[in-house]
Amino acid sequence: MFLVLLLNPSIEKLFIDYIHSVLGSEIEELMYIKPGEIVLRNNRHCNLFEHEHVIYWHNFLINVFNSKYTLKSYALILPCSSIKPYRMSPVHRMVDKYLGAYGIQDMVQVYILSEPMILVPRELDIYYPFANYDYPPKELDHEHRNKFVNILSIVLEKLKNHKYILAFLPKHHKGILNDALKKCGYCANIEFFDYGKRVFRQTKYVIEHLNNVIRKDFDAKTKMIN
């Protein structure tokens, strides 16, 4: 296992090493920003898709990120939230609750679909800039929606190491993900579940479904061995 970790550095380590390399001494100041303290706000004068630090992240996704570093066969895509870090929002907390109840939290990679961050592995949500921005989805204009879709279509190609991907999203983010899938030639096999009006009840159903997929795979492997 130790050898595997050496050959496959964690997403956290990859990100920290990368951000140190591009920001240099500037990183020291950013380290003092507390998770949940909003310092980056989208506005008409500065769309966060164009912010230097956000562009660094886009470059990381395109040039460094690969799902193989997660060492997880299953993935769950959730929407971003106004509450930062994401994990503190009610839906994310409920997802964590049910993943833990089924004992599959270490088998499932959680990603956040976000404007302007595109796709964020949830273990990074306590770090700047993911824990420190505000971008209401209603402020996403046509130009930056296209940018979102274009970058996401590239990132989706990198999710092939996940055996099964489930997306639990509201209509807005579902449309973006669908457009990105179309652009990359449906390069990832993703099963969609809608938020719906009763999101908390639906959350339980979604994680139950994910658990059933994992257990079914486990049972199939067991039968092959026996």
Query: Do the domain assignments include residue 178?
Result: yes
Distance between alpha carbon 165 and the CA centroid of its chain, in Å? 12
Query: Do the domain assignments include residue 1?
Result: no
Query: Do the domain assignments include residue 2?
Result: no
Query: Do the domain assignments include residue 79?
Result: yes
Note the pTM of the prediction, 2 decimals.
Answer: 0.93
Average pLDDT over residues 197-218: 93
Q: Which amino acid is at 112?
A: I
Window from 20-29, 161-170, 216-225 with minimum mean pLDDT:
216-225
Q: Residue 48 sits in which domain range?
A: 10-225
Position 83 pLDDT exceeds 90: yes
CATH of the domain at 160: 3.40.50.10630
Cα→Cα distances 76→92, 108, 146, 166, 217, Å = 11, 7, 23, 5, 16
Cα→Cα distances 11→42, 72, 149, 202, Å = 26, 12, 22, 29
Cα→Cα distances 168→63, 78, 89, 139, 161, Å = 26, 5, 15, 22, 19
Query: Do the domain assignments include residue 28?
Result: yes
Distance between alpha carbon 69 and the CA centroid of its chain, in Å? 14
- pLDDT tens sequence across 110-121: 999 999 999 999
Residue 177 · residue 113 · CB < 8 Å: yes
What residues contact residue 183 under an 8 Å CB cut-off, 6+ apart? Answer: 149, 150, 153
- pLDDT tens sequence across 159-175: 999 999 999 999 999 99
Strand partners, 114: 118
Query: Do the domain assignments include residue 187?
Result: yes
3-state secondary structure at position 164: strand
- pLDDT tens sequence across 64-80: 999 999 999 999 999 99
Position 2 pLDDT exceeds 80: no
Position 3 pLDDT exceeds 60: no
Domain count, the chain: 1
| CB contact burial 31-68 (16+ within 10 A = b; e otherwise) | eebeeeeeebebeeeebbbebebbeebbebbeeebbbe
Measured between its terminal Cα atoms, the distance across the chain in Å is: 25
pLDDT above 90 covers a percentage of the chain that reads 82
Window from 85-89, 172-176, 219-223 with minimum mean pLDDT:
219-223
Phi, psi of 213 (to 5 degrees): -60, -45
Position 108 pLDDT exceeds 60: yes
